[in-house]
A and B are shown apart, each in its own frame.
Chain A
Amino acid sequence: MSFKRFQKQNYIIDSANAFSSGKMSKRDFLRNMGVAGVGISAYSAGLLGKPRPFFGNVAHAQENNTPEDVANFLREAGKPFAGTTIRYTSEATPPTNILNELKSEFTELTGINVEIEIVPLEQVLAKATQDVQGQLGTYDIYYLDQAWTSTFSPDTIDPVEYYASKPDLAMPGFDFDDFSKPLVEGICEYDGKWVGLPFDIPIFTLMYRKDLLEKHGIAVPETYADFSTAVELISKEEAENNIYGTGLQAKSGHYSLECDWSQAVWGHGGSIFGADKNFSGNDAQAVEGLEWYMNLLKNSPAASVTSTWDGQWQMGASGQIAMAQSWAEFFPGWNADDSEVKGLWEMARPLQGPATLRSTDDVGFGEIPNWGHQGGSSIALSRYSKNIDAAWLFLQWACSKDIMTRCTLAGGFAPMRNSSYTDPRIVERKNLEGSGTTRHLDTVKWTIDNVMASEPDLPIWAGVANNEIPTELGKLLTGQEYGGSAKKCMDQVAKLVDAVVDEAELG
């Protein structure tokens, strides 16, 4: 057993002892287990279906209250709806977690109760689908992953139009133009309509351990080729310390694997669909991307094939990996006070080249091949809601400048609104080393504004991205089928995906 592993096991035992003797709270215990790579993944697997890791501090968001002008508006506008209860179902995203803590502020101002039902992502999809299928109005607000935007477009109310049509319920200074334009286009706009309001933007950037790169004299990788060379070198040199060049979110059958795969495909000049609307993940460029990914897997912790985003986060926080091209929102947690590698992580722009990106003219279904995969989401007003106006007030409050800025303060993830980046509360935390740092946000904003990639917009994408693609990839990566041939695997995926597209009469 390596010393590092011994230390880790001691850390787990000490935390367990402190918890059982009452010297540590349950929250702190779970937090420590998360840092050590224990527990959170297991608990979440069953209870929350792998929520995205969140180790922010909600207290940072609770330092301020809703600004007075907004509060006055809500007090007046909310009066007719006092006592109403609105329901909203969502995945356990960091901003949803924070909003859940802040919602009492909204209730105090308006008298409107808010129930936020947090369930695994796939259940959110099933519940929302059932709701719209029967036009039930069970939920007043839907959480919509960017992959579902087109699916739910007919079932939501365009917030821009609703704002204009209901001046008495229009929050002063709401300012739609303040939302980041690429986010609006990439996350919540479909066919010229705002399906919802942008709410969350996890996006791929490169993150690296500066101490390890310096130790081995490696420059910060800029291209895919640089990255794999650096990964191989670090995995080899740090084998005794049980440190790997990178770690992946390659769990079979999970959307996280599809996210990793699609970025590898785009990064090698490929795309998911061609202009003819046929699956193109089996062409030469895409297969090259997958082979590059398979090579990374050889230099990653074995647990990569059972990890989603939370597992990858734990690899970074426990000091097990040196680099990751992954979700930028990991960065604050990896630098948090209780991280084993606090202050050692840095962020750089996502890897670019040496291949050139495929043009958007050569792809289908509105896909945008680029260097920074986005996994954003929006929250949307249900057309079938029985409390549309009460829900509309909540939606405006949740996506207002102040609340969105405060969500970022608590979690350190990228804001949706341009004004948040220049908010003094965000700016002053740029110099922080530990918890609550915002020093990575400039790189995140650059990635959003310049190189943000988006998955295809087609109504069946949610199913394909969560089922057919990651399941077959899982068979390949774990050696269950295809004998290690990326091409054979992707030919099979092409067959499956094209059949689904044909069945939906989208081809």
Chain B
Amino acid sequence: MKTQGSRLPRWLRSEHPFPWLFPVTSLLIVFGLYPVLYSLWLSFYKRNPATRKETFLPSHNWSKLISDDRVWDAVQVTFSYACIALILQLVLGMLIALLLDSDKKGFGILRALMTLPLVVPPAVTGMMFLLMYDSSFGVISNALYSLNLLSPDAPILGTGSTALWGVIIADVWQWTPFMVLIMLAGLRALPKEPFEAASIDGATAVQSFFHLTLPMMSKIIALAVLIRGIDLFRVYDYVKVMTDSGPGTATETLTAYAGTVYFKSANFAYASTVALATLILVLVTATLFIKIFKVRF
């Protein structure tokens, strides 16, 4: 008697992994590997924008990258942006998760509501904050003016010292719920016994948090930091929509600079070099993080 499985084509019955990996591998090659290799190839050419002549000169764009002050400024802005946003999202995410970690009535709805900012496209979030920061009618600006914390003569996004914070706040508003959800999942999976034992031994809630919750959550926290950190390193939407890297280069991250070189100067070869440098930076930072914090997947 023939089984259902035997009616399937032979390759579908294969126990070899290749047929099953083929679809996703193809997609990765086409949409992941090929663009990277193409960018690498582009980065080895010097393009004269006037004559459009391309010369194979592998060191040209890379040495230009090293001596380009804007790249180093962008590295600094990228690290500042990623670190500040990550710390804020992590701390707020943990605090909110602790508040929402309850089985009382209504908390389920609150947890569901936390996902709402995540479904808003980042460009729309950027525009929302752009309106709220507007110096003549924006609710945030007007509140800060009323409290004498800011002067109407210095618009939030038009002033070097505040523009980066303005963009970071939009990012924090949108992505803190992501941290909350991960932390909540972790908190709710923790065993109850150690906490009960600590309580019997007279530990306070703060002591339990620092000596039990945090150590037990460390792997989840590390994973969340890794995922968000990689995302933050390649931030583009908020910067493009809200400040377009300005004022000056106060909010110019590496990806924003790559976009500027690509779109404004139409120098595809150098833009590819900046983009690849960003990729290398992310890979190195992420690998170091994984090694240092012993993240396991």
Task: List residues of chain A with CB under 8 Å of any chain B CB.
Answer: 5, 8-9, 12, 36-39, 42-43, 45-46, 122-123, 125-126, 129-130, 133, 151, 251-254, 301-303, 305-306, 458-460, 462-463, 466-467, 471-472, 474-481, 503-506
Contacts and interface: CB of A to CB of B under 8 A. Distances in A.
Contacts of B136: 5, 8, 37, 303
A488 B14 CA distance: 70
Contacts of A503: 48
Given A251-B244, A475-B249, A303 B266 contact: no
Interface stretch (B2-10, B80-88, B125-133): B125-133
A26 to B, nearest CB: 16
Interface centre among B48, B50, B131, B157 (most CB of A within 10 A): B50
Contact of B131 (A42, A129, A254, A480): A42
B250 A480 contact: yes
B155 A303 contact: yes
Interface stretch (B29-37, B92-100, B103-111, B257-265): B257-265
A93 B261 CA distance: 24
B159 interface: yes
29 contacts: A5-B136, A8-B137, A12-B137, A37-B136, A45-B130, A45-B241, A46-B126, A46-B127, A133-B52, A252-B246, A252-B248, A253-B244, A253-B246, A253-B260, A254-B244, A302-B153, A305-B247, A306-B158, A460-B50, A463-B265, A463-B267, A467-B261, A471-B245, A475-B249, A478-B159, A478-B246, A481-B248, A505-B51, A506-B50
Contact of A303 (B158, B240, B249): B158
Interface of B: 48-52, 123-124, 126-127, 130-131, 134-137, 152-155, 157-160, 240-242, 244-250, 260-268
Contact of A305 (B48, B50, B51, B155): B155
Contact of A38 (B134, B152, B153, B263): B134
B248 A475 contact: yes
Contacts of A458: 50
Contacts of B264: 122, 125, 462-463, 466-467
Top 7 A-B residue pairs of the complex, sorted by shortest distance between their CB atoms: A475-B248, A463-B265, A252-B246, A478-B247, A480-B248, A480-B160, A504-B50
Interface centre among B48, B154, B247 (most CB of A within 10 A): B247
B50 A474 contact: no
A9 B157 CA distance: 21
Contacts of B242: 45
A39 B260 CA distance: 24
Contacts of A36: 137
Nearest to A50: B244
Given A305-B247, A306-B157, A503-B48, 11 more contacts: A9-B137, A38-B131, A45-B244, A46-B240, A125-B266, A303-B134, A459-B50, A463-B264, A480-B160, A480-B248, A505-B51
For the residues of A in contact with B, the DSSP-based class is helix
A46 B241 contact: yes
A464 to B, nearest CB: 8
A146 B178 CA distance: 47
Nearest to A125: B266
Contacts of A467: 260-261, 264-265
A404 B88 CA distance: 55
A25 to B, nearest CB: 21
Nearest to B64: A503
A196 to B, nearest CB: 18
A462 B50 contact: no
Contacts of B263: 122-123, 125-126
Contacts of A305: 155, 158, 247
A478 B244 contact: no
B163 to A, nearest CB: 8
A8 B264 CA distance: 36
Contacts of B240: 46
Contact of B127 (A45, A302, A459, A466): A45
A317 to B, nearest CB: 13
Contacts of A252: 158, 244, 246-248
Contact of B158 (A133, A302, A459, A504): A302
A123 B249 CA distance: 20
A123 B123 CA distance: 17
Nearest to A298: B153
Nearest to A124: B263
Nearest to A492: B69
A480 B247 contact: yes
Interface centre among A252, A458, A476 (most CB of B within 10 A): A252
B264 to A, nearest CB: 4
A151 B49 CA distance: 8
Nearest to B47: A133
A471 B249 CA distance: 7
Contacts of A12: 137
Contact of A462 (B157, B246, B261, B266): B266
Given A43-B127, A458-B50, A503-B48, A463 B158 contact: no
B245 A302 contact: no
Interface centre among B124, B135, B248, B250 (most CB of A within 10 A): B248
A251 B247 CA distance: 8
Nearest to B152: A302
B241 A478 contact: no
Contacts of B49: 151, 459-460, 463, 504
Nearest to A478: B247
A43 B134 CA distance: 13
B168 to A, nearest CB: 17
B87 to A, nearest CB: 24
B248 A474 contact: yes
Contacts of B155: 302-303, 305-306
A476 B268 CA distance: 28
Contacts of A504: 48-51
Contacts of A38: 131, 134, 137
Contact of B160 (A37, A125, A478, A505): A478
Contact of A126 (B51, B160, B241, B262): B262
B140 to A, nearest CB: 14
A474 B248 CA distance: 4
Contacts of A133: 52, 268
